[in-house]
Every structure is written in C-alpha cells, then in structure tokens.
C-alpha cells in the first residue's frame, strides 16, 4: 500500500508539472551509453615489511636522545546502531607499521629499553583473540602475520600493554599522535583502543611526563613529506586510475544524465581497477560548482553548463587528487573557454614554480597573480583587491597517505608530491557582466618535485580545451 501511495503521489506531481507547462526533471536512462574500461595501469608490488622497518629507523635517527614514540591506530567510528563507517587507518600508524587494523598500538624507543628482564627496541600491540569480532567482521591479523607485515620483532596482545612497566627515568621525551584524544571506550573490551590510550595517559601522568603530540606530528610529517620510489609507484597507480575515470566520464557524459550517474562511472572505474575512493567524489554541475566541497551529486546535467569533477582513487593507502572541468554538451562556450584558459594559464605558471628551493606557497602566489591580471583584462574586476571574490582557496597541498597529506610547508624539495589547483568561480549576481555568471572552473594536477622541472604525474587525464573537446566528440567512444 505504501509503495502504491508513493506511486500515486509521483504520478500526480508529474501531471501537475506537465499542466503547468514545465519540463519534468527526470534523469535520462535510455541515452546513457556503454563504455569500454581503459586498460588498467600496471600493478606495483605491495609495500613490504622492509619499507615500514626503514621508516621506523629513519624516525629513530631524527628523534632526540632519551625519547620514545607511542602511536595509536585510528578508532572505529560508529555510523548508526551496529553499523560502523568504513575503517581508514591513521596515516602515521600505517606509515610506520603497515597494519590496517583498529585497536592497535606501536611503542618505539630511540635506544633499547629493559622491561621485565627483556630488552625491547619496539613493540607492536594488536588484537589477537576477539572471536566475536572475527565472526562478524572476519579474521584479525594475528601476531605472526603482524610480524611479517610490519617487520616488528615483538608483537603482543593489546591487553598486555597495561602490565608493561617502563623505566621512565631513562625517558625525557614522549611523542604520540592525535588519536591520543579518543574518548570512546568499550568497558567490555579491556584491550580496545581507548583502554590502551587511558593506560598510556595514566602511566605518563604517574611518571610526570608530558606527552608531545604536535611535536610528534611534526617529526612524522618531516619523514612523510618526501616520498620513496615505492610510495611513488603506489601513488602513480592511484593517479592513473583517477585519470582513466575522468576519461570514461568524458566519453559517456550526455545532457539529461545526473551527477550521481557520473559519480557511479568514476567510482566504478576505481573499484574495477582495484582501488578505493580516497575522498567523497565532487561532481558539481552548473551552480553547484560554486560550492568547494559539494558532494550531494544529485542534480541533472543541463546543456550549456559545465561540471567540475574533483576526484581521487586510493591505492594501498595512497591517494590521488585530480580535478577536471568539462562542458556537459561536449563543447565550451566562448566565455567558458576564456575563463577555462585563464585558469589553465595560471596553473601552468604555478607548476613552473613548483620547483626545488621555492617556498611552498610560491605556486599559489604566481597563480593568484596570473588570475588577477586575467580578470582585470577581461573586465571582470577593476581592483586588485577583488581577486579573492572569484579565487578564494589555496593552490596547493601535500599529497600522499592523506589527500591533504602531512608536511612542514617550508621550501619545496625533491620527492615531495603536491597538488596545483587554481580556480575561478563567478556566481550569479556577481559585480561583472552577466555573460560571465555561472562559470565555475577548477583544474588540479598532482605534481612531483624533482631536482629539475616539476613532473606532472596526472597527464593521463586531458586538460587542454582541444583535448577535452576532441575526446568528448569522439563518436566511437561510446560504442559497445
């Protein structure tokens, strides 16, 4: 009965709109073409225990004398009732252990410490025997496999941490991470994350030690901001898959489709190629392009509009972050071309300054200057101080295990990966000729800092006007 009533309501709405002479906003299904999945990029070898072991050794090298580091895994976040949000490991914890499970903890010493008649350089605490959890969520890692994954020689049950007696007289600095601030606690589970956090706080408080979280995060960021060759392999695969997703949408998009249909194509490409979604996909058509982090993705695609596709695949924990702005109808209008080309010119200049030795913020300063000159030339603004009305966000951020990855934001150095993403957003009612209203453009690429010129890692995704229009106009692109 309830379904029938909903059908009647929908039917009445349809005829009401028809009688008023209005178009009925229904998503198109008959004109959605099939597409061929682009060949998957080569799969790199997974990160080995050696990688995580070497990361811990590099951390020891930069630790002050008489220091220890205590890192906690990410907590489980409840969505509703007995359903949790998908688990995503804390990037610092993963970087130093390779462990992707919750309720885990790493203790690392600058120099070995004697505990209960034994010497330890590091100890990994994990969940070993939660049988109820295994029934519902599958097997846990276990001690032996945790050793193989992390390279940590000593792996103990997380319930054992509370009985560890440290020699605090030998410790001057205690570093941790932001999961220290977790508040949830399962009283029925003596080894859950909150229990370990609480025991750690109690031990340090009794020893009169201060826990250094911000200082610790700076140490981890110093190591994480420079990517190893193996990390770059993982990132390149994530970036290539993201580029393929853009290409697939450019081949499929038609007026009358919906934003969520584009999202489905994008994320299907991710999963088909063995990747995950690094962050909520932004598919913003028309006026939705004015919302920087728009994720509702439920609007119809209107002829003449543009759509911003700000997306990223995640592979082995490493994220891509690429944005393309494309015309719904396959061809940019003259005004759209002018704004798009201005953003592309600003990005080109910014990438030129994404070079060893320049300040992290130099690419943004150069993009901002280029956009300002362009807006004045087009008559959109007359005062330099009005640039921020149309370009209101930064141009770059670090990229890696986080989409906005850890880094010190000092001078750029080889091995760092950053984004370069200028944009122009002209809302309806802006103080300019209305021919510019409703034009929103953002172009974002993933850039590797080298000893020479910057390397664009995301070339797989077309970004020039001629390339985009040619691809979207390829009549064979939608063939079965």
CATH class of 63-223: alpha beta
Model pLDDT, residue 19: 33
CATH code linked to domain 227-472: 3.90.230.10
Q: H helices of 113-228, where?
A: 131-137, 143-150, 193-207, 214-224
Model pLDDT, residue 1: 39
The chain-wide mean pLDDT, for the chain, equals 89
- Is the pLDDT confidence value at 2 over 90? no
Model pLDDT, residue 56: 98
Percent of the chain with pLDDT over 90: 77
204 in Cβ contact with 172 (< 8 Å): no
Q: How far apart are CA 225 and CA 445, in angstroms?
A: 17
Q: How far apart are CA 393 and CA 291, in angstroms?
A: 12
Q: What is the pLDDT of residues 418-477, one digit of tens each?
A: 999 999 999 999 999 999 999 999 999 999 999 999 999 999 999 999 999 999 986 343
Q: Is the dihedral of CA 273, 241, 397, 231 positive or negative?
A: positive
Closest to 394 measured CA to CA, from 420, 417, 425, 413: 420
- Is the pLDDT confidence value at 405 over 90? yes
Q: What is the pLDDT of residues 305-326, one digit of tens each?
A: 999 999 999 999 999 999 999 9
3-state secondary structure at position 479: coil
Q: In the chain, where are the structural domains located?
A: 63-223, 227-472
Q: What is the pLDDT of residues 221-248, one digit of tens each?
A: 999 999 999 999 999 999 999 999 999 9
Q: How far apart are CA 433 and CA 425, in angstroms?
A: 14
Q: What is the pLDDT of residues 283-309, one digit of tens each?
A: 999 999 999 999 999 999 999 999 999
Q: How far apart are CA 267 and CA 273, in angstroms?
A: 10
Residue 232 structure tokens = 């770059």
Model pLDDT, residue 186: 60
Residue 141 pLDDT grade (very low, low, confident, very high; cuts 50, 70, 90): confident
Model pLDDT, residue 281: 98
Model pLDDT, residue 188: 62
Residue 480 pLDDT grade (very low, low, confident, very high; cuts 50, 70, 90): very low
- Is the pLDDT confidence value at 196 over 60? yes
DSSP letter assigned to residue 403: S
Model pLDDT, residue 84: 83
DSSP letter assigned to residue 25: -
Q: How far apart are CA 374 and CA 366, in angstroms?
A: 12
Q: What is the pLDDT of residues 37-59, one digit of tens each?
A: 556 667 777 899 999 999 999 99
Positions annotated as catalytic residues are 82, 293, 310, 321, 393, 397, 404, 421, 425, 442, 444
CA distances in angstroms from 249 to 257, 293, 459, listed in the order given: 11, 20, 16
Closest to 447 measured CA to CA, from 406, 398, 411: 398
CA distances in angstroms from 360 to 34, 72, 150, 304, 449, listed in the order given: 43, 30, 32, 37, 11
- Is the pLDDT confidence value at 120 over 80? yes
Closest to 125 measured CA to CA, from 103, 141, 108, 145: 103
Q: What is the pLDDT of residues 461-477, one digit of tens each?
A: 999 999 999 999 863 43
Model pLDDT, residue 135: 65
**What are the E-state strand segments in 103-256?**
105-115, 118-126, 155-157, 173-175, 211-212
Model pLDDT, residue 134: 66
CA distances in angstroms from 384 to 162, 363, 372, 377, 422, listed in the order given: 60, 18, 7, 12, 17
Q: How far apart are CA 313 and CA 341, in angstroms?
A: 26
């Amino acid at each position: 009965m309830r379904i029938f009533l909903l059908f009647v309501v929908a039917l009445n709405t349809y005829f009401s709109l028809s009688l008023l002479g209005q178009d009925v906003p229904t998503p198109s299904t008959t004109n959605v073409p099939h597409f061929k999945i682009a060949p998957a990029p080569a799969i790199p070898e997974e990160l080995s225990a050696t990688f995580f072991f070497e990361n811990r050794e590099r951390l020891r090298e930069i630790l002050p004398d008489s220091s220890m580091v205590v890192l906690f895994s990410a907590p489980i976040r409840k969505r509703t009732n007995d359903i949790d949000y998908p688990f995503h490991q804390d990037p610092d914890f993963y970087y130093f252990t390779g462990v992707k499970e919750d309720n885990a903890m790493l203790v690392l010493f600058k120099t070995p410490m004697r505990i209960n008649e034994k010497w330890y350089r590091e100890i990994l605490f994990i969940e070993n025997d939660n049988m109820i959890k295994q029934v519902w969520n599958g097997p846990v890692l276990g001690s032996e496999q945790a050793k193989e994954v992390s390279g940590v020689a000593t792996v103990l049950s997380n319930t054992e941490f509370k009985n560890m007696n440290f020699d605090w007289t030998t410790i001057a600095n205690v570093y941790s991470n932001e999961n220290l601030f977790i508040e949830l606690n399962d009283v029925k589970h003596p080894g859950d994350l909150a229990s370990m956090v609480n025991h750690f706080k109690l031990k340090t408080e009794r020893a009169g030690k201060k826990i250094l979280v911000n200082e610790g995060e700076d140490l981890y960021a110093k190591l994480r901001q420079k990517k190893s060759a193996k990390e770059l392999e993982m990132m390149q695969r994530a970036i290539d898959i993201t580029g393929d997703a853009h290409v697939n949408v450019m081949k499929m998009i038609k007026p009358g489709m919906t934003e969520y249909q584009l999202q489905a194509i994008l994320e299907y490409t991710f999963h088909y190629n063995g990747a995950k979604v690094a962050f909520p996909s932004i598919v913003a058509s028309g006026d939705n392009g004015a919302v920087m982090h728009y994720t509702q993705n439920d609007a119809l695609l209107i002829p003449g509009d543009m759509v911003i596709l700000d997306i990223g695949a995640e592979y082995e924990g490493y994220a891509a972050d690429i944005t393309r702005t494309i015309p719904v109808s396959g061809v940019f209008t003259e005004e759209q071309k002018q704004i798009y080309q201005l953003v592309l010119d600003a990005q080109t200049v910014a990438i030129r300054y994404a070079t060893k030795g320049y300040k992290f913020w130099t690419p943004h300063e150069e993009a901002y200057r280029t956009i300002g000159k362009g807006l004045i030339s087009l008559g959109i603004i007359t005062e330099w101080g009005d640039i921020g009305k149309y370009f209101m966000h930064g141009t770059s951020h670090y990229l890696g295990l986080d989409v906005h990855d850890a880094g010190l934001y000092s001078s750029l150095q080889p091995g760092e990966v950053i984004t370069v993403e200028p944009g122009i957003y002209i809302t309806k009612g802006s103080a300019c000729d209305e021919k510019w209203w409703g034009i929103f453009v953002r172009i974002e690429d993933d850039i590797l800092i080298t000893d020479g010129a910057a390397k664009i890692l995301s070339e797989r995704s077309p970004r020039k006007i001629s390339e985009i229009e040619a691809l979207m106009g390829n009549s064979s692109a939608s063939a079965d």
